[in-house]
Amino acid sequence: MTKIISFPSMGWSRIAFRALFEKLPGVTVFPPPPVTRDIVKMGAKISPEFVCFPFKVTLGEFVNMIENHDIHTFVMSIDCGPCRLGFYAPIQEKILKDLGYDVEIIPIQQDDLLNFKWTKTLLQLSNVTNPIMKYYDVIRCTRLALVKMSYIADITRLEGLIRCREIHKGDTTRVVKNLMDQLDNEWDLQVLHHFDKVIQTAFAKIRIKHDIEPLRVIVTGENHIVMEPFINMDIVRKFGEEGVEVHLANSLYGWILHKLHINAERKKLEKLSKPYIPLDIGGEAIWVVGHYIEGQNQGFDGFIHLYPFTCMPENTARGILEGQSPDPFYLPIQFYSIDEHTGYEGMRTRLESFIDLMNSNRQGNPKFQNKYREPSEIKAIYDKKVPLTNHSPLFSEVLTPFTNNLNILISELFNMKATKQNTKGDRNT
């Protein structure tokens, strides 16, 4: 008998979560429906009063799936860090059981992926009896999930960079949706390893304005809020339509790499923010401050900090960022504290006035340095002389799936070394 399981969606990340469980024998995955107003309302109604917003959204999703789709088993990540995330699963289960639902929430441990506690969940779900074959499935599922995750990160990054340049409004949104659907339904690992070319050809079809210098803004904050477009009122799209280049700082792939201790970028940011936040306090606080300092050094135009109302770590980061402005922190910043009462119109007004502010900051602020450089991704996609072809030589069909994974690891390791050397050089000068 197969078990039907589901999980909270967290924007496009649902594709990666689905990939993690889909090919596990004994498990049927029900892909979670996108978040809507009703789901949020449902969750807010039965949640504790001032718990953080992701709790309410995920609980609403569970209730929706129980009532409308008859799913009774969910997988939910738990943590043992200082923030509230670790308590989500047990308390949500308690609330749902008190409401009379027959429900089981299976936790998946994510506090340190290198201790491999998370494999326990997968092994427990699989119905294979042979202990060695069990691990085979776990490895395959993990590979699928990791590969898809990395492509989701690529697509969302390109989306933010390209939308502000598109000539026909709506092209990017359509392409992104098509690509995500394609990625969701692709299960062949060998095809998946060439998927970056599919992404590039799809984006290359969008006609864009070249040689413009749009405003650049970093969007970051709490992971769930940043990644779930319904919750953050699709702030990335709104900025893009206003002609602002968005650098989305959060991705599930980056988070997983960080949990595997090989995310060089996050390590660099931790170093930058060390004087302000000396230790990881949960949430994204330490990297938010790091992104802010880095953005200021790189001459960005603005910074958006999204976080759930009453979030403890993000509030700490906000206090520090707010207390230190305008000196030494002069990069324009806007905070969005989001909960179930946040409305689109209020956000739009603030956002548009922020764009005006960034424009005047470019001209009026003596500290602002124009260091605009066109992102390398744009050049890689649009300035290609050789047309992209989907070649599939026999040799690589066997080897690439293995070497590609290795390559990712090796490049990450080199990155780490490079950043280490860089920081050493800085210290010497």
Partner 1 sequence: MNESNIPPRKIKVGIPRALYFYRYGPLWVYLLRQFQCDVVISAPTSAKIVEDGAKQAISELCVPMKLYFGHVQALLDEYPDLDYVFIPRYVSIHKNQYYCPKFLTLPETIKYGMKLSVPILTLEVNAKKHYGIEGAIEMGKTLGFSLEDSGKAWMVALKKYNQLKSKMNSSNYIDILASLDKNPNHVIKKRKFREVIPKKIRGKFPLSILILGHPYNVYESYINMHLIERLKTLDCHILTIEDTHSDQFKKPVKINKIYEQYWQSEDEILKTARYYLNEGKKEIDGVIFLISFACGPDSLIEELVMRDMKTRKIPFLTLILDEHSGESGMVTRIESLVDMIRRKKYDSISSS
Sheet bearing 104-109, strands edge to edge: 27-29, 3-6, 73-78, 104-109
C-beta closer to partner 1: residue 85 or 351: 85
If one counts every other C-beta atom within 10 angstroms of the C-beta of residue 420, the result is: 14
How many residues lie near partner 1 (CB under 8 A)? Answer: 43
Find the binder of partner 1 among 54, 221, 240, 282 (CB under 8 A).
282
Q: How many helices (H) and strands (E) does the chain have?
A: 18, 8
Asked if residue 315 binds partner 1 (CB under 8 A), the reply is yes
Asked if residue 225 binds partner 1 (CB under 8 A), the reply is no
C-beta closer to partner 1: residue 230 or 309: 309
Which of positions 90-109 make contact with partner 1 (CB under 8 A)? 90-91, 93-95, 98, 107
Asked if residue 316 binds partner 1 (CB under 8 A), the reply is yes
Which of positions 335-394 make contact with partner 1 (CB under 8 A)? 337
C-beta closer to partner 1: residue 253 or 336: 336
Find the binder of partner 1 among 269, 285, 288, 304 (CB under 8 A).
285
- Give the SS3 label for residue 369: coil
Euclidean distance between CA atoms 18 and 412, whole angstroms: 25
Asked if residue 221 binds partner 1 (CB under 8 A), the reply is no
Sheet bearing 244-248, strands edge to edge: 244-248, 215-221, 302-308, 333-338
Contact 241, 169 (CB under 8 A): yes
Q: Tell me how long the chain is.
A: 429
Contact 45, 165 (CB under 8 A): no
Find the binder of partner 1 among 15, 24, 42, 52 (CB under 8 A).
52
What is the Rg, in whole angstroms, of the alpha carbon atoms belonging to the chain? 22
If one counts every other C-beta atom within 10 angstroms of the C-beta of residue 80, the result is: 10
**Encoded tokens for 236:** 């990335």
Find the binder of partner 1 among 32, 160, 214, 283 (CB under 8 A).
283
Nearest distance in Å: CB 77, partner 1: 13
Contact 58, 79 (CB under 8 A): no
Burial of 253 (0-12, 13-18, 19+ CB in 10 A): buried
Non-local (6+) Cβ contacts of 137 within 8 A are: 23, 24, 25, 122, 126, 128
Contact 28, 4 (CB under 8 A): yes
- Give the SS3 label for residue 303: strand
Asked if residue 277 binds partner 1 (CB under 8 A), the reply is yes
Per CB under 8 A, the segment of 28-36, 45-53, 64-72, 412-420 that binds partner 1 is 45-53
Per CB under 8 A, the segment of 126-134, 141-149, 321-329, 373-381 that binds partner 1 is 321-329
Euclidean distance between CA atoms 132 and 179, whole angstroms: 35
C-beta closer to partner 1: residue 31 or 82: 82
C-beta closer to partner 1: residue 9 or 121: 121
Nearest distance in Å: CB 5, partner 1: 17
Euclidean distance between CA atoms 305 and 149, whole angstroms: 23
Find the binder of partner 1 among 71, 304, 311, 358 (CB under 8 A).
311
Nearest distance in Å: CB 283, partner 1: 7
Nearest distance in Å: CB 92, partner 1: 10
Asked if residue 48 binds partner 1 (CB under 8 A), the reply is yes
302-308 and 215-221 beta bridge pairing:
parallel
Find the binder of partner 1 among 1, 50, 70, 391 (CB under 8 A).
50
Backbone φ and ψ for 29, nearest 5 degrees, come out as: -100, 130
Asked if residue 268 binds partner 1 (CB under 8 A), the reply is no
C-beta closer to partner 1: residue 98 or 211: 98
C-beta closer to partner 1: residue 65 or 285: 285
C-beta closer to partner 1: residue 24 or 289: 289
Find the binder of partner 1 among 4, 204, 262, 312 (CB under 8 A).
312
Non-local (6+) Cβ contacts of 297 within 8 A are: none
Find the binder of partner 1 among 276, 287, 354, 368 (CB under 8 A).
276
Which residues on adjacent β-strands are paired with residue 305?
Answer: 220, 335
Nearest distance in Å: CB 80, partner 1: 5
Site pattern 53..92 for partner 1 (x: CB under 8 A): -------------------------x-xxxxx-xx-xxx-
The amino acid at 106? I
Q: Where do contacts with partner 1 occur on this chain (CB under 8 A)? A: 48-52, 78, 80-84, 86-87, 89-91, 93-95, 98, 107, 276-279, 281-283, 285, 309-313, 315-316, 318-320, 322-324, 337
